[in-house]
């Protein structure tokens, strides 16, 4: 098995380039080091160094680099990872001119940068001035940072079930919105939040608007433990019509008492899906209750994941966050 980046084109024969990345080996293949087998190297090069997975430590992130010379018959290079039967994780790929790998540094995305999601709807996802750690983790500053993710098809009144899951590490004890689909209590579908300085909560809203001080149009579950600061959590909220409103933490159902009753129908959100805050106008350009901490991953499903699937997702990523 192999993985190759797209070609790095318009290069000059004889020039040197260095490919660096973070890699963690979870399982080593039972093969010997030979040529390109189980190695990181650069294809279409006049010459290339090789880093073999068998020479790297298990279950530890290691920054590695290889240098190659552009071949005389080519004007491009392709960084390549041949992992055969090895099991690996990679992050923070970087290619630069010369034979020295510079440190991978945190970057900041501007308000005009956007990324396209991987779902069939291809929504434009716009991060606002987030700082990224070397681990690719976005850092929310608790003030201006947010991600505006557009309208999410299927997370609306047509839904019969959905699941929202996120990895978070809160660094401030306060009420803040981690995820919200819609605007405030009167015009949203659901939210996942830090409740004061104590609990995480998952709330799902029915068709009728919420009256002040009333819970007659929403269902809520609070996690049955007090969260800690600077600790990673995998939070998963699940709703299915007339059946489930549940909140899972690190693969385990931690739902406290249910407030309300499980709705047959949820309502449409009047604003787009937001990460890290609550929108306070229809356009989502202003916000309140900003999240402070790290929030690297959000997953939405248009069905209710089973407890086994929720735990499987948690187990797949827990070691990345040291849990």
pLDDT tens per residue, range 37-58: 677 777 666 667 778 877 888 8
φ/ψ of 58, rounded to 5, equals -80, 140
Q: Which of 95-99, 167-171, 293-297, 312-316 has the lowest mean pLDDT?
A: 95-99
The residue with greater pLDDT, 192 or 322, is 192
Residues in the chain: 323
Model's pTM, two decimal places?
0.63
Mean pLDDT value across residues 218-246? 90
From 235, 226, 232, 200, select the one nearest 318 (Cα to Cα).
232
Provide the pLDDT for residue 171: 94
Least confident of 11-20, 44-53, 150-159, 295-304: 44-53
**Residue that is written with structure tokens 């949203």 in the block:** 188
Separation of first and last alpha carbons in the chain: 29
pLDDT of residue 153: 74
Band (pLDDT 50/70/90 cuts) for residue 7 is low
pLDDT, position 175 = 92
Collapsed DSSP state (helix, strand, coil) of residue 320: helix
pLDDT tens-digit profile of 105-120? Answer: 555 544 444 444 444 5
Q: What is the reported pLDDT for 34?
A: 60
Using an 8 Å Cβ cutoff, are 164 and 172 in contact? no
Half-sphere exposure (Cβ direction) of 194: Cα atoms closer than 13 Å: 27
Do the beta carbons of residue 246 and residue 315 sit within 8 Å? no
**Rounded Cα distance, 8 and 25, in Å:** 26
Walk me through the domains of the chain, giving residue ranges and CATH numbers.
2-97 (no CATH), 107-321 (2.60.120.200)
Decide if pLDDT at 15 tops 50. yes
DSSP line for 221-287 = EEBSS---TT--EEEEEEEETTTEEEEEETTEE-B-PPBS---S--PPPSS-EEESSEE-STTS-SE
Query: In the predicted model, what is the mean pLDDT of residues 75-90?
Result: 74
* % residues pLDDT > 70 (the chain): 74
């Amino acid at each position: 098995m192999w993985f190759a980046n797209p070609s790095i084109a318009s290069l000059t024969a004889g020039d040197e380039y260095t490919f660096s990345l973070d890699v963690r080996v979870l399982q080593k293949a039972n093969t010997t080091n030979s040529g390109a087998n189980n190695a990181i190297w650069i294809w279409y090069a006049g010459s290339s160094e090789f880093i073999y997975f068998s020479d790297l430590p298990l279950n530890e992130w290691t920054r590695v680099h290889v240098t190659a010379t552009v071949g005389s018959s080519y004007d491009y290079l392709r960084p390549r990872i041949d992992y055969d039967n090895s099991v690996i994780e990679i992050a923070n790929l970087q290619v630069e001119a010369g034979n020295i790998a510079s440190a991978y540094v945190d970057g900041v995305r501007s308000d005009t940068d956007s990324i396209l999601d991987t779902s069939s709807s291809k929504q434009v996802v716009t991060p606002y001035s987030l700082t990224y750690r070397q681990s690719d983790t976005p850092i929310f500053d608790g003030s201006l940072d947010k991600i505006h993710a557009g309208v999410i098809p299927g997370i609306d009144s047509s839904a019969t079930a959905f699941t929202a899951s996120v990895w978070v590490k809160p660094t401030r004890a306060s009420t803040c919105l981690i995820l919200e689909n819609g605007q405030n209590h009167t015009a949203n579908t659901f939210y996942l939040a830090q409740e004061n300085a104590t609990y995480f909560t998952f709330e799902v809203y029915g068709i009728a608007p919420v009256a002040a001080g009333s819970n007659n149009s929403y269902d809520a579950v609070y996690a049955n433990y007090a969260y800690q600061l600077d600790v990673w959590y995998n939070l998963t909220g699940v709703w299915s019509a007339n059946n489930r409103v549940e909140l899972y933490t690190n693969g385990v159902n931690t739902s406290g008492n249910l407030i309300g009753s499980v709705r047959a129908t949820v309502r449409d959100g009047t604003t787009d899906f937001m990460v890290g805050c609550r929108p306070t106008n229809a356009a989502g350009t202003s916000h309140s209750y900003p999240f402070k901490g790290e929030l690297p991953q959000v997953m939405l499903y248009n069905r209710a994941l089973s407890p086994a699937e929720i735990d499987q997702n948690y187990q797949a990523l827990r070691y990345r966050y040291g849990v």
